[in-house]
Amino acid sequence: MWFLVGLAILTANFRELLILFFIVLVHELGHGIAATHYNWRIKQVLLLPFGGVAEMEEHGNRPLKEELVVTLAGPLQHVWLGAGGFLLFKLGYLSVGMWELFFTFNVMIFLVNLLPIWPLDGGKIMGILFSRFSAFAGAHERTLKVSFVFLALFTATYLFIDPLHINVWIITVFLFFSLYTEWKQRHFLFMRFLMERYYGKNNSFSTITPIIVDEKEKIHQVLQKFKRDCKHNIIVMKGTTKQPPLDENELLHAYFKEKLTTIDIGDILYSY
């Protein structure tokens, strides 16, 4: 953002910068207000030339419905921004040039944020959809992999269309760095997801979903099957015989409290 401020000073494009800043600010306020409504913990808000990033201190244990609302709250602001700008133009408060500039920036930020690339809103929506049908760890990794593919396609397209577009390069570098950092930290984030479930912070499960496993499976393999937005009962199979179910808290207790990180799931069953 400071780079853009300096560029605006050098080129005397203060009007463009103010319009861009206003649209980005309203977009992020949409996320912030929705997150505050659900009592989410907001870590920081970064204002960027293509929308911004609202970072939350949440690690996958909020209901998917809440996350979808918080994610969509940003892009939805562009609807009333466009309508409001058009009304001001029709009433004579905005010149043709100002309205065209405002409309272009508003649509540009809206569309870029809907790209299926994490951490853009489109990438987060994609992650929510993956989480609806897959375990947390697998859904998170799949989201990042697909995001890398779409980022590569986005970059290749602009290399062909306009290879010297500086804003596109800024966006590309930021997204690549964000994806790379998230990929490197994915195991740490998975541990945060499990720890929040273990300590019962902000847990609100909509369903109870059984996980059927073989007694020889390792505890960390079973934990990899935990899904968002549902509590698990662990059904251990000894051959073709179902054993009494384990509650997910028993696994989490064994993993975090007793440090049994490599034990077979069957051994936990027999210890209770």
Rounded Cα gap, residues 21 and 5, in angstroms: 10
Q: How far apart are CA 121 and CA 77, in angstroms?
A: 13
Tokens of 135: 């375990």
CA–CA gap between residue 183 and residue 144 (Å, rounded): 7
Check if the beta carbon of residue 61 is closer than 8 Å to that of residue 193.
yes
Determine the pLDDT at residue 84.
Answer: 96
Q: What integer pLDDT is reported at residue 193 of this predicted model?
A: 93
217-255 pLDDT, tens digit per residue, is 999 999 999 999 889 999 998 888 888 888 999 999 999
pLDDT of the residue at 75: 95
The span from the CA of 70 to the CA of 26, in Å, is 14
- Residues across the chain: 272
The reported pLDDT for the residue numbered 11 is 47
pLDDT at residue 10 is higher than 60: no
Residue 162, pLDDT > 90, answer: no
Instruction: Write down the catalytic residue from 28, 58, 217, 248.
Output: 28
The pLDDT of residue 43 is 76
**Angle, CA 102 vertex, CA 161 and CA 124 arms, to 5°:** 65
Does pTM surpass 0.85? yes
CA distance 121 to 73: 10
Identify the pLDDT of residue 242.
Answer: 86
- Is 28 among the catalytic positions? yes
CA 24 to CA 193: how far, in whole Å? 30
User: 171 CB contacts (<8 Å, ≥6 apart)?
Assistant: 49, 50, 112
* pLDDT of res. 57: 73
DSSP-assigned letter for residue 256: I
Q: What is the pLDDT of residue 241?
A: 84
Model confidence at 14: pLDDT above 60: yes
Identify the pLDDT of residue 271.
60
pLDDT at 55: 72
Q: Which domains does the chain have, with CATH numbers?
A: 2-194 (no CATH), 205-271 (3.90.1280)
The residue with greater pLDDT, 89 or 9, is 89
Helices (H) and strands (E) in the chain, counts: 12, 6
Q: State the virtual CA torsion across 148, 149, 155, 159 in degrees, nearest 10.
A: 150
For 95-150, how does the pLDDT look when each residue is reduced to its tens digit (9 = 90+)?
998 999 999 999 999 999 999 999 999 999 999 999 999 999 999 999 999 999 99
Distance, in Å, from the CA atom of 73 to the CA atom of 155, rounded to the nearest integer, reads 27
Determine contact, residues 208/231, Cβ cutoff 8 Å. Answer: yes
Q: What is the pLDDT of residues 142-161, one digit of tens each?
A: 999 999 999 999 999 888 88
pLDDT at 240: 81
Between CA 127 and CA 203 the distance in angstroms is 19
The token pair at 105 is 């920036």
The tally of CA atoms less than 13 A away on the side-chain side of residue 27 is: 31
Show the tokens assigned to 87: 């009304």
45-93 residue pLDDT tens? 777 655 567 777 777 888 899 999 999 999 999 999 999 999 999 998 9
